[in-house]
Amino acid sequence: WVVVELRDKNNNASVVTSRAALLQRDGDVVDLDGTSAVTMATGDDQYFVAVRHRNHLGSMTASAIALSSSTTSIDLTAPGTATYGTNARRNVSGTMTHWTGDVTFDDQVKYAGSGNDRDAVLTVIGGSVPTTVVTGYNSADVNMDAQVKYAGSLNDRDRILQTIGGSVPTAVKVEQIP
């Protein structure tokens, strides 16, 4: 699941409308039926387009895009697609992705300090035995493998550290949407 937002062409901090859509494994965002293009209840105009995910930092187009009743494709996975802010997406082998790890839903990824996302992962697994694994759909499942793990291989804590750069645990990655 993702949330697609259309933002005012004159004030990109103002959300005109938003709605849920499905994110497919190949990066396509489609309507809830799994195949149709996402439609929004707005008139023909220009909008900034933002996409948000449950535990990732969202991204938004760098400029307003002309939208109408005709289908418009916006490829936020393409390195050439300009996005708002600085370093809003992560390049993984030539495909742009959203930064992962916003477990606390505060539009930033923090490994250490007050309100960090690492502790939120530990809380989900019970807080006392770091090797515990919780399975299922959960916002603390940072790597989206249907398991919340604090320790061991493919744990979610390490992905948070990678998002902030891996070498300075007090660094913070901030979402680039106003």
In this model, does residue 60 exceed pLDDT 90?
A: yes
* 62-90 mean pLDDT: 95
Q: Are residues 68 and 119 in the same domain?
A: no
pLDDT at 27 over 90: no
Stated as kind and residue range, the H or E segment containing 96 is: strand 95-98
Statement to judge: residues 167 and 125 lie in one domain: yes
What pLDDT sits at residue 43?
Answer: 87
One domain, residues 69 and 131: no
- pLDDT, residue 26, reads 85
CB-based contact 45:81 (threshold 8 Å) = no
- Residue 95 in any domain: the answer is no
Residue identified by tokens 């991204």 is 59
Domain that holds residue 132: 108-174
**Single pTM value for the model:** 0.92
Mean pLDDT of the chain: 96
- Which pair of structure tokens corresponds to residue 127? 């807080």
Distance CA 165, CA 171 (A): 8
Query: Which pLDDT score, from 0 to 100, does residue 41 have?
Result: 84
Name the β-bridge partners of 67.
45
Segment 102-159, tens digit of pLDDT: 999 999 999 999 999 999 999 999 998 999 999 999 999 999 999 999 999 999 999 9
pLDDT of residue 65 exceeding 90: yes
- Band the pLDDT of 86: cuts 50, 70, 90: very high
- For residues 8-13, give the mean pLDDT: 98
Residue 69: the pLDDT is 87
Find the mean pLDDT for residues 34-50. Answer: 93
Question: How far is it, in rounded angstroms, from Cα 37 to Cα 30?
Answer: 5
The reply to whether 12 and 81 lie within a common domain is yes
In a domain, 138, yes or no: yes
Is the same domain home to 82 and 112? no
CA distance 54 to 37: 21
Nearest to 140 by CA among 152, 155, 162, 161: 155
Q: Which pLDDT does position 139 carry in this prediction?
A: 95
Same-domain check for residues 75 and 122: no
Please tell me the distance from the alpha carbon of residue 112 to that of residue 156, in angstroms, as a whole number. Answer: 14
Domain shared by 127 and 72, yes or no:
no
87 pLDDT higher than 90: yes
Least Cα distance to 52 among 12, 91, 93, 102 occurs for 102
C-alpha angle 148-161-5 in degrees, rounded to nearest 5: 75
Residues 163-171 have a mean pLDDT of 94
